[in-house]
Amino acid sequence: MRVCLLLTIALLLCKAALFGQQKDLVKNAGITSSIHKSSVGKILFSSKQVSVPDLKGAEFLETYELTNKSDLFMTCFMANSMTNYLHRLAPGMHRDTLLSHGNYQASFYVDNRLVYQTNLLPGAPQPWLQDTVTVMSKPLISDKSSWWSQSMWNRFMVNGGDSVLTDGPHAFKMELRPYINISGLKTGDLIASGHLNMQVHRKVRIDIAKIDLNPIKPYPGLPVSKECFNVSMIKELKGNINEGLFKHISSIVVIKDGKLLVEEYFNGSDRDSLHDPRSVGKSFASTMTGIAIGDGYLKNEDQTLKEFYNLKSLPDYSPEKENVSVGDLLSMNSAFNGDDDDGNSPGNEENMYDQPDWVKFTLSLPASETAKSKWHYFTAGVILLGDILNKQIPGGLERYTDEKLFKPLAITNYKWAYTPQNLPNTAGSIQMNALDFAKYGQLYKNEGKWNGKQVIPKEWVRKTFTKHRLITGRTGEYYGYLFWNKKYKVADKEYETFYCAGNGGNKIYIFKDQPLVIVVTATAYGAYYAHPQVDKMMENYILPAVLTDCAPVRRGAGSRP
């Protein structure tokens, strides 16, 4: 009897072992190197990117000096691939479902205290890498690149890391786990962890006496201003950018009373550089809608989609789509189920970019009155707006924009991005230099007039700068017609602005009650600090400097006026 019992237990153990071996959903790259075998479950850090096939171990650090211009790379040695880790959390799920609802969870500790925990959004790394990779080497901190892995560090810094990593010695630890979020968040066992002794040196001393501001020359349409401003404050800002306290800034331009007051360039850019401001380009779609209405190519923004498309011929027809108006697309208030801030939304912009026809993708999305009940950022809707304009305007949108907008402003050096149908991409990424972006902002400050000619109908500027919708999740911030609205506070006084905004920290501000247009271009794409750092620059440096009452001061002077 005892022998039978032992045999039964042995058989059950064998079956359990076999079952454990069968848990993998996909074939991974395996563990093939000696350093991988000895380092499974570890995150090791290096000051430069390491080549996985050539790893020897000498590249990895025990101590590290953290500065504002640091480069820090992580190499994670895993026992399996992410797809298989997620499969163990939800064994019944299809591989695509796992990867669209799960990814890495990163935990950051400083001096043995958990400071921040973040779930990396699904979508990166690419699915085939999630299936196979067992050794992951990626930048964690870098001034020279922008990877998904850096977003974990950026979130940590914004959510507590910046305040706890004070100058001096610190013990840093990072942990990675798998997570999946389908009917609730579920987190798996530890994949890997890493430790690093950090010596933090992030405080910098800015000697403004050694900083010179850019000498300004006239630019077509923008004469040089003789107004004074706080030169010392702009020098201090320039020093902070040069020292990496504000990252990936490429230009700052201030126009006061239609004249060029401040013009600074950073990180290799200059007056002729073309900047990619991403969704700043959406505002140009609003501009061209107003001009097209003024020319009679559209009746008004109340026209609905049923006037432009045979919606019943497309998938997922619903009557709610027929009543979506041009105004709904302009104010991000349509009935389409598309929300770029929701990774699970069917109309999220990331789902559009892989499609061969972006317009058909958008029109085929589900729609409901529920979606229309609140403001939701919907890039695909602006693609639809561009398609309507291109269809309604003789000769197409590209030629019309050049003739009706760019030529009056003497903007000649620009580059469109294009859709798969080779039409101008109204979702964003139209490139031009910072001064031409400033002229575009000044056109709105002039209520649509340039050199005595009404380029944009004055009434359209008024409608654009109307608070059509309260922005979801924000207090006191509104959305106009593809322009944002907010207030900055300086010395207990509020200054209201409508502005264009794009990924990376790109902005064109048009202030309501001040004679100011301000442009900031940046390349901090995907970084959590991108927009907050521009807000800090505006409130702590730019606005206080150009709003101040001061006597004229030479640009080379170092003393505060």
Residues 137, 257 within the same domain: no
Residue 10 has pLDDT above 70, yes or no: no
Indicate whether 159 and 265 sit together in one domain: no
Q: What is the mean pLDDT of residues 515-529?
A: 93
**Does residue 20 register a pLDDT over 80?**
no
List, edge to edge, every strand of the sheet that includes 259-265: 259-265, 249-256, 516-522, 506-511, 493-502, 484-490, 478-479, 469-470
Domains: count for the chain: 3
pLDDT tens per residue across span 320-338: 999 999 999 999 999 999 9
**What pLDDT, on the 0 to 100 scale, is given for residue 550?**
67
Tell me how far the alpha carbon of residue 413 is from its chain's centroid.
25
Check pLDDT > 60 for residue 13: no
- Decide the pairing of beta strands 192-200 and 63-66: parallel
pLDDT for position 553:
44
Which amino acid does the sequence have at 515? Answer: P
Q: What percent of the chain has pLDDT over 70?
A: 93
Asked if residue 20 belongs to a domain, the reply is: no
Last residue of one domain, picked from the residues 200, 235, 254: 200
Bridge partner list, 367: 336
> 19 lies in a domain?
no
pLDDT of residue 53: 74
Residue 496 and residue 86: Cα distance in Å, rounded? Answer: 47
- The pLDDT, as a whole number, for residue 413 is 98
261 and 292 share one domain: no
Please report the pLDDT score of residue 154 as a whole number: 86
Which pLDDT score, from 0 to 100, does residue 57 have? Answer: 80
In a domain, 375, yes or no: yes
Cβ atoms 469, 375 nearer than 8 A: yes
301 in the same domain as 264: no
Q: Does 13 or 376 have the greater pLDDT score?
A: 376
pLDDT band at residue 242, thresholds of 50, 70 and 90? very high
Domain containing 350: what range? 276-487
**Averaged pLDDT, 514-539:** 95
User: Is the domain of 236 the same as that of 366?
Assistant: no
Average pLDDT over residues 145-156: 84
pLDDT reported for residue 59: 87
Tokens describing residue 17: 């072992």
pLDDT given for residue 344 in this prediction: 83
Are residues 38 and 121 part of one domain? yes
Look-up: residue for tokens 């950090």? 198
pLDDT score of 200 more than 90: yes
User: What pLDDT, on a 0 to 100 scale, did the predictor assign at position 124?
Assistant: 85
Is residue 169 in some structural domain? yes
Distance between CA atoms of residues 516 and 247, nearest Å: 24
- Residue 207 domain-assigned (yes or no): no
Q: Is residue 18 part of a domain?
A: no
Domain harbouring 318, CATH code:
3.40.710.10
pLDDT digits (tens, 9 = 90+) for 295-325: 999 999 999 999 999 999 999 999 999 999 9
Average pLDDT over residues 499-505: 97
**Ramachandran quadrant class, 192 (left: phi over 0; alpha: psi -120 to 50; beta: rest):** beta
Same domain, 226 and 175: no
**What is the reported pLDDT for 9?**
44
Asked if residue 374 and residue 228 are part of one domain, the reply reads no
Q: Tell me whether residue 253 is exposed, middle or buried, using C-beta atoms within 10 angstroms of its C-beta: 0 to 12, 13 to 18, 19 or more.
A: buried
Q: What is the mean pLDDT of the chain?
A: 92
| Structure token digits, residue 62 | 């025990």
For residue 559, pLDDT over 60 is answered with: no
Name the domain boundary from 487, 522, 553.
487
Q: Are 140 and 226 within one domain?
A: no
Residue 533 confidence (pLDDT)? 95
User: Where do the H-state alpha helices sit in 90-222?
Assistant: 95-101, 127-132, 148-156, 162-164
pLDDT (tens digit per residue) in 30-83:
998 999 999 999 999 999 888 877 777 888 999 999 999 889 999 999 999 999
Q: Among residues 120, 119, 139, 36, which one has the least CA distance to residue 79?
A: 36
Average pLDDT over residues 507-534: 95
Q: What is the per-residue pLDDT across 408-440, written as a single tens digit (0 to 9) for each? A: 999 999 999 999 999 999 999 999 999 999 999
Amino acid occupying residue 367: A
Q: Is the pLDDT of residue 555 over 70?
A: no
**CA–CA dist 256, 224 (Å, integer):** 10
Determine the 3-state secondary structure of 197 from DSSP. strand
Q: pLDDT at residue 560 above 50?
A: no
Q: Is residue 110 part of a domain?
A: yes
What is the pLDDT at residue 527?
83
Domain shared by 437 and 299, yes or no: yes
Domain containing residue 47: CATH number: 2.70.50
What phi and psi values does residue 179 have, to the nearest 5 degrees? -135, 155
The owner of tokens 């009650």 is 513
Asked if residue 252 and residue 114 are part of one domain, the reply reads: no
Q: Is residue 157 part of a domain?
A: yes
Full-model pTM: 0.85
Residue 258 neighbours by CB under 8 Å, 6+ apart: 222, 223, 442, 445, 446, 515
Classify the C-alpha dihedral 371-374-379-382 as positive or negative.
positive
User: What letter would DSSP give residue 312?
Assistant: G
**Is 482 in the same domain as 510?**
no
What's the farthest any 2 CA atoms get from each other in the chain?
A: 105
> Which pLDDT does position 500 carry in this prediction?
98
Please tell me the predicted confidence (pLDDT) of residue 2: 52
